[in-house]
């Protein structure tokens, strides 16, 4: 299946891995790229040198194109972006911040930049800055989707910009890919589907909980990590949504963990964070990050919080990444042919 996404990014299939924190590690990234999609590394858990090592590890596992996700609101993002540019990563995905300097630097060595957007203003800004693709994220998505569902957002986004679009939020199979193409996208991004694969590092406790969950078993709130986002309905997530302010003691403890993990002094972490977040937002981010790490690495069902899309309600198996991509493409082609047959 050929689209602008496959042609411009040099991949076989118009499917990409969402850059999920703690989940999109080198092994999962390489598995998606080797299967013909676009794997995406999330370096939020690494120091700059750790990011460099992770990029090189991906390259040791695959000779296919891959991407690095840079969430500009997060601590250490500028340093990690600089490393990705120095390493001449083929594709960089930016979100939650102005990325013109990244776009310009990537284009100098022939790299491509994908800008994640959820609203008209950000879509137009990314296009003016020169982004090669826009990842348009609907409300169904895990973590930070917008207020509009993908069914409405995708055709709407096509009226905002001329830049090619990749659809995110609510996609997990071939029927979704066929729908996204029909709505004007050039491909899809999948997070929850790849989180629930054999290569994913997500703890088995949470994989099994996701299989049991219905589409209604998610929470959309700005109180879990300080930004509006969708999470699995767990004990910890429900407690966080009822709190007006994150526990100062827990926030400080988690902030110290982040400071140590990223090798950034606590005072610098705090000062840099205030450039884009309120004190309440910083506290929520620290606690939310700690809950995410607890879910992925420890599988603690009481203390863990996990970003999850509504598609968790239709996923009930644990395939390999290659199986996911092969089945998605085969189903999409079948659906498209069947649709043309109906019209004929």
Average pLDDT value for residue range 165-191 = 97
Summary mean pLDDT of the chain? 89
Structure confidence at residue 253 (pLDDT): 57
Structure confidence at residue 43 (pLDDT): 94
Sorting pLDDT into bands at 50, 70 and 90, what band is 283?
A: very low
Sorting pLDDT into bands at 50, 70 and 90, what band is 143?
A: confident
Same-domain pairing of 231 and 297: yes
Structure confidence at residue 268 (pLDDT): 54
With respect to residue 299, please indicate whether it lies within any of the assigned structural domains.
yes
Same-domain pairing of 281 and 197: no
Same-domain pairing of 173 and 221: no
- Assess whether pLDDT exceeds 90 at residue 320: yes
With respect to residue 208, please indicate whether it lies within any of the assigned structural domains.
no
Same-domain pairing of 245 and 289: yes
Sorting pLDDT into bands at 50, 70 and 90, what band is 257?
A: low
Same-domain pairing of 149 and 231: no
- How many domains in the chain? 2
Same-domain pairing of 270 and 323: no
Average pLDDT value for residue range 120-144 = 95
Q: What does pTM read for this prediction?
A: 0.88
Same-domain pairing of 77 and 128: yes
Same-domain pairing of 295 and 333: no
With respect to residue 339, please indicate whether it lies within any of the assigned structural domains.
yes
Same-domain pairing of 300 and 324: no
pLDDT tens string 55-85: 999 999 999 999 999 998 887 899 999 999 9
pLDDT tens string 322-342: 999 999 999 999 999 999 898
Same-domain pairing of 219 and 323: no
With respect to residue 209, please indicate whether it lies within any of the assigned structural domains.
no
Structure confidence at residue 250 (pLDDT): 55
pLDDT tens string 205-254: 999 999 999 999 999 988 787 788 899 999 988 988 887 555 555 545 55
Range of the domain at 119: 4-201+316-343
- Assess whether pLDDT exceeds 60 at residue 277: no
With respect to residue 207, please indicate whether it lies within any of the assigned structural domains.
no
- Assess whether pLDDT exceeds 70 at residue 48: yes
Same-domain pairing of 94 and 123: yes
With respect to residue 92, please indicate whether it lies within any of the assigned structural domains.
yes
- Assess whether pLDDT exceeds 60 at residue 273: no
Sorting pLDDT into bands at 50, 70 and 90, what band is 135?
A: very high
Contact 91, 38 (CB under 8 A): yes
Structure confidence at residue 176 (pLDDT): 98
With respect to residue 335, please indicate whether it lies within any of the assigned structural domains.
yes
Structure confidence at residue 228 (pLDDT): 87
Sorting pLDDT into bands at 50, 70 and 90, what band is 96?
A: confident
With respect to residue 206, please indicate whether it lies within any of the assigned structural domains.
no
- Assess whether pLDDT exceeds 60 at residue 122: yes
- Assess whether pLDDT exceeds 90 at residue 150: yes
Structure confidence at residue 278 (pLDDT): 45
Average pLDDT value for residue range 299-318 = 94
Same-domain pairing of 22 and 136: yes
Average pLDDT value for residue range 125-131 = 96
- What is the percent of the chain where pLDDT is above 70? 86
Q: How far is residue 20 from each of residues 6, 141, 296, measured CA to CA in Å?
A: 22, 12, 11
Structure confidence at residue 264 (pLDDT): 60
């Amino acid at each position: 299946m050929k689209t602008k996404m496959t042609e411009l990014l040099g991949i076989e299939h118009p499917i990409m891995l969402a850059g999920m924190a703690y989940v999109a590690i080198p092994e999962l990234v390489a598995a998606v790229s080797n299967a013909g999609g676009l794997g995406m590394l999330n370096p939020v858990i690494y120091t700059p040198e750790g990011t460099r090592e992770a990029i090189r590890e991906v390259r040791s596992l695959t000779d296919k194109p891959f991407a690095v996700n840079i969430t500009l609101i997060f601590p250490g993002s500028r340093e990690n972006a600089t490393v990705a540019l120095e390493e001449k990563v083929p594709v960089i995905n930016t979100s939650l911040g102005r990325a013109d300097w990244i776009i310009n630097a990537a284009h100098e060595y022939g790299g491509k930049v994908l800008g994640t957007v959820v609203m008209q203003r950000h879509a137009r800004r990314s296009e003016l800055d020169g982004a090669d693709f826009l990842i348009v994220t609907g409300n169904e998505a895990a973590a930070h989707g917008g207020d509009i569902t993908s069914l409405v957002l995708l055709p709407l986004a096509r009226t905002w910009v001329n830049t090619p679009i990749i659809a995110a939020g609510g996609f997990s199979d071939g029927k979704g890919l066929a729908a996204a193409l029909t709505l004007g996208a050039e491909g899809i991004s999948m997070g929850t589907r790849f989180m629930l694969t054999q290569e994913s590092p997500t703890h088995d406790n949470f994989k099994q909980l996701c299989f049991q969950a219905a589409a209604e078993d998610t929470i959309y709130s700005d109180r879990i990590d300080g930004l509006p986002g969708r999470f699995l309905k767990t004990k910890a997530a429900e407690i966080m949504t009822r709190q007006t302010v994150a526990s100062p003691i827990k926030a400080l403890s988690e902030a110290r963990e982040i400071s140590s993990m990223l090798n950034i002094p606590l005072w610098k972490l705090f000062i840099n964070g205030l450039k884009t977040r309120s004190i309440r937002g910083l506290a929520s981010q620290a606690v939310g990050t700690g809950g995410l790490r607890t879910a992925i690495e420890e599988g603690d069902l009481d203390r863990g919080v996990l970003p999850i899309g509504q598609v968790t309600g239709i996923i009930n198996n644990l395939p390999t990444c290659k199986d996911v991509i092969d089945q998605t493409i085969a189903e999409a082609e079948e659906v498209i042919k069947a649709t043309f047959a109906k019209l004929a």
